[in-house]
Amino acid sequence: MFYDVNRVTYEKLRKIVSEQKPYANTTNVYPLGAREYSNRHFRLREDGSMDCFYSNRTTRDEVETGVRVEKPWDTKFATIYPDNTIVLNKSTNAQSENLILQNMLHMHVFHEKARGGTVMREGMDTMHPAFDGLRLNLATHESIEPYVVNVRKLDKKLGKEFLKPYEEFKKIASILIDPMSDEGIHETLSDLKMEYENQTNLLKFITFKNLIDQNRYVDAGVWLANKLNLNYLNWSSSTLGDRFKSLLRQAIATKTDKFLLSSTNIPFKLQPIEGGKYFPTSTWGYVIVQNNEVKQRF
């Protein structure tokens, strides 16, 4: 699959531009591989860069001309520059996008939960986590700007001290939620979504910690149920009943500590690894720093 898109370089794409006509009704849109697969295409920009897409070409044409509003699945996944470098522009956790990148880069590209997201690997020595701002040389697969992958290592003693104030929540949250009706639980979740404006903001780990710190134990319990979609809570009309409350009691007992620890750096030590080198799996994730800035992982 995608074998027609093989080891892409800026020079190869410039050759396509010089030897092939752009797609019909366009002036700057060319195939990434075989011409009949027009969803895999690139768009030559005025500065010489080339935006790469894996989306319906005619739909993207309408986005470019302002006829259609851009959707997440219409956006470019990478940009290739005249200095023969590539920048990833969005998460590529879809298997098809990983496969097309794998052939473009001639590297293994895969999404691995244990390593926190999309990973690009060549042999045993070269490994890059995909993140916003990563720019690779297409010939050497080296990062243009240095970065550091900091592996989060839990200090068990500090972790225990950090979690101690949250024992009360674990003891009484279920007691407070057990008498609530399905309607009351759905209403609580609806209020939380309005308070935090959208599901993405609501599901941040720091939100869970803040709700407990404010002694909003019912809200924190519903946050946890929402995060785990217990008994299909996220379906607004779902019937919850005793099974939901049983699952929630179990989740409060087994998931609270992990989610609280995920909200902070306090009980962690960072093990720095030079960007581009092999980095191990981590239960607690990573902090990627480039130019003194923490980068957003894809």
Residue-wise pLDDT tens digits, 13-46 = 999 999 999 999 999 999 999 999 999 999 999 9
Which of these, 105, 74, 63, lies nearest to 88 by C-alpha position?
Answer: 105
What pLDDT, on a 0 to 100 scale, did the predictor assign at position 93?
A: 58
* Average pLDDT along the chain: 93
What is the DSSP pairing of strand 148-154 with strand 268-274? antiparallel
What pLDDT, on a 0 to 100 scale, did the predictor assign at position 95?
A: 72
What pLDDT, on a 0 to 100 scale, did the predictor assign at position 94?
A: 63
CA–CA distance, 102 with 267 (Å, rounded to integer): 37
What pLDDT, on a 0 to 100 scale, did the predictor assign at position 92?
A: 66
What pLDDT, on a 0 to 100 scale, did the predictor assign at position 2?
A: 80
pLDDT in tens, 265-297: 899 999 999 999 999 999 999 999 999 999 988
The domains of the chain are located at: 10-147, 157-261
* Greater model confidence, 123 or 146: 146
Query: The tokens of 178 are what?
Result: 């057990």
CA–CA distance, 163 with 268 (Å, rounded to integer): 13
pLDDT in tens, 94-111: 677 788 999 999 999 998
What pLDDT, on a 0 to 100 scale, did the predictor assign at position 119?
A: 95
Q: Which residues of 186-200 are buried (b: 16+ CB within 10 A; e: fewer)?
A: bebbeebeeeeeeee
Which of these, 105, 74, 111, 107, lies nearest to 91 by C-alpha position?
Answer: 111
> What is the average per-residue pLDDT within 70-80?
88
